Amino acid sequence: MAKKKKGKKHHHFRNAAPRAPRAAKQEDETPLKRLAYTAGGAAGTALAGSFLAHEGWAPKTIATALAAVGGGLAWKGDSSTIRSVGAGVMSAAGSQLALMVMDDREKKAAPAPAPAVQVAKKPANAGNALPPGALESALERAQARLALSAREAEV
């Protein structure tokens, strides 16, 4: 039996040749996606910070740790997504840390409040007492008004 010859592969299109497989296409990063990742990092920081505060961590420790983690992600992140999330984490934690430091500085700079002057307390039995002569003058005013209204009624 005769062997069949292996022929050349014929391509149907001119200049067509076998191609190497293409690499998977990366999604294009748009400014809106980058903004969404950054905002997500900031929101995640708020959630993580509130959870750690609930667990009893000191607020300055939380903010410092999260700012350091976010800075590391933004600086050495493998992809642009990780870098955007890290930038959000770092900015949110950094702003909280700055606010706490400013608040502490204002508290230290404010003078201590002066001790309140205590007012002498009235005796317990003097709570409902009227000044002398108040009852008599109230009776005289009521009689005068009654007399005026009686005169107007006659007219």
Per-residue model confidence as pLDDT tens digits over 98-130:
999 999 988 888 776 667 767 666 666 666 677
86 in Cβ contact with 75 (< 8 Å): yes
Find, among 31, 97, 99, the residue nearest to 67 by Cα: 97
73 in Cβ contact with 29 (< 8 Å): no
8-state DSSP, 79: S
What tens digit of pLDDT does each residue of 40-68 get? 999 999 999 999 999 999 999 999 999 99
Tell me the residue type at 67: A
Residue whose entry in the numeric block shows the structure tokens 């934690």 = 93
Write down the mean pLDDT value for the chain. 84
Find, among 62, 35, 37, the residue nearest to 47 by Cα: 62
| HSE-CB for 70 with a 13 A CA cutoff | 30
Q: What is the largest CA-CA distance in the chain?
A: 151
Q: How far apart are CA 70 and CA 41, in angstroms?
A: 9
